[in-house]
Structure 1
Amino acid sequence: MIARTLGTLLNLIYNLVNNYGIAIILFTVIVKLILLPLTLNQTKQTKKMQKIQPKVKELQEKYKNDKEKLNIKIMELYKEHKINPLSGCLPMLIQIPIIYGLFGALRKPEVFVFPNNPELLSKAINAPFLWLPNLVNPDVFLLGNLKLPGVLPILAAITTYLSMNQMNTGEQAQQMKVMNTVLPLMILWWGISLPAGLTLYWAVSNIFQMAQQYFLTKGVKLKEESN
């Protein structure tokens, strides 16, 4: 169902631009704009979390020998400041079915993106994009029989690392240090087998996310300074 819905949207965009790669890029931007309200809420919640960190540390010191009491007090603190500790994960959780659905759509464009239209299907999936012969096969370097990640997987991995480090600051960055290293390496490895179109989506999504986060953070700082 998700793959069919996303495939239909991708088909509509392709019919406007007549380029599969550009259609995927525009699709990515549309998805990020749809998720913008959640991202705005995530930024606000993160800012609130940073402000109460001194109080959290006080509670951790005060109840260091009583974990159950500590959890209760921290939840009370969150409630007092109207903080939802799960809100930061929501945009990522919503992206999971989108990525899964897009993977299905790009893996079987004849079923989900261009059903019953073999001529348009052939034109789209066989068209080159930048250095790639098509966006259906993975972007890889061939070294004999060995497949190495190509430009898109490398770009996706680097932007994943930068995006995660931009989002996680202070104490949170220390807690996420392992994940900040492991996930980009996983993205790099997956890029060997994933359709290049999906890797393109991931890289563009990260770049958009970083730009969005930069301007949102800057906007919050300017608002605070004006107050």
Structure 2
Amino acid sequence: MANVSMFFGYILKFFYNISNDYALSIVLFTILTRLILLPLTFSQMRSMTAMKMIQPEVDKINKKYKNDKQKQGMMLQQLYKENNVNPAAGCLPLLIQLPIIMAMYRVVQDPVKFVFAGDSSLYAAADRGFFWIKSLTDKDIINIGGVNLPFILPILSAGFTYLQMKMSSSKSSNSQGSEMAQSMNQSMTMMMPLMMLWWGLMFPAGLVLYWVTGTIVQVIQQYFIGKYEEKIMANKANNSSK
């Protein structure tokens, strides 16, 4: 993991040399990461759109085999396989992000080592804050009446994560029969925002900035890719009905 963190540090230093702003370097690094993961996002959205298109078939299977859960599960799995559908596709990008976050945590926690090659004076000049954020290595808090309170980033982190999860779950099955997938999606939709809120309260602002930026980019990607995939699927359905 140390080698991965060092590699990320090199990339952040490259962006810092271009932008002369450490916070902006994190934003640019995040956008680059999301672009690299774009093929996975395409695959995710294609699977979820296909799930939406085969929903009538799913409902038929659920109704036909409602008293035989084993047979129902087998038929659903066969249907998913034939249509290249993964009911849990919406969770995959979040899981893949976790190793990246672990490596980024070390970078943000110790930028002098991983980004600025041991030059603490260079980092001191670079860490000028970002909008309301006073320091990217500290938690995002605001002092009111002598009490430190969590501020904007943790709330943004939870809010955009919830939006992203809702967009994903709306593309997947809403059927009562796909109980396991539905239950997992519902649990993740509630659990992930709460987890991101907690992370935002506990971890350095730079890491939370990375997550918020990445989630915003992913929401934008999901919206436009979803529209594109729905159009493709609709054309396929029209052609097959002719």
TM-score, scaled relative to structure 1: 0.88
Unpaired runs of 5+ residues, structure 1, are: none
| Bigger relative contact order (CA 8 A; separation at least 6) | 2
User: Could you tell me how far 1:34 is from its partner in structure 2?
Assistant: 0.3
Once the two structures are superposed, residues 79-133 of structure 1 have per-residue CA deviations (whole angstroms, 9 ceiling, x without a partner) of 22122445443322211101111111101112222223333222223x1221222
Unpaired runs of 5+ residues, structure 2, are: 176-180
User: Could you tell me how far 1:150 is from its partner in structure 2?
Assistant: 0.7
Partners of 2:196 and 2:130 lie apart in 1 by 21
Partner of 1:131: 132
Contact 1:152-1:200 at 8 Å conserved across structures: yes
**Percent sequence identity over aligned pairs:** 41
Partner of 2:33: 31
Contact 2:44-2:90 at 8 Å conserved across structures: yes
For residues 27-176 of structure 1, what are the structure 2 equivalents within 5 Å? 27-85=29-87, 87-125=89-127, 127-144=128-145, 146-169=147-170, 171=174, 175=183, 176=185
User: How many correspondences in the alignment?
Assistant: 226
Higher deviation after alignment, 182-191 or 169-178? 169-178
Q: Which SS does the other structure have where 1:148 is aligned?
A: strand
Once the two structures are superposed, residues 136-162 of structure 1 have per-residue CA deviations (whole angstroms, 9 ceiling, x without a partner) of 111112345643221111111111111
TM-score, scaled relative to structure 2: 0.83
Higher deviation after alignment, 38-47 or 180-189? 180-189
Partner of 2:194: 185
Partners of 1:78 and 1:177 lie apart in 2 by 20
Contact 2:6-2:107 at 8 Å conserved across structures: yes
Contact 2:49-2:226 at 8 Å conserved across structures: no
Aligned CA distance change for structure 1 residues 112 and 28 (closer, same or farther; 3 Å)? same
Aligned CA distance change for structure 1 residues 74 and 165 (closer, same or farther; 3 Å)? same
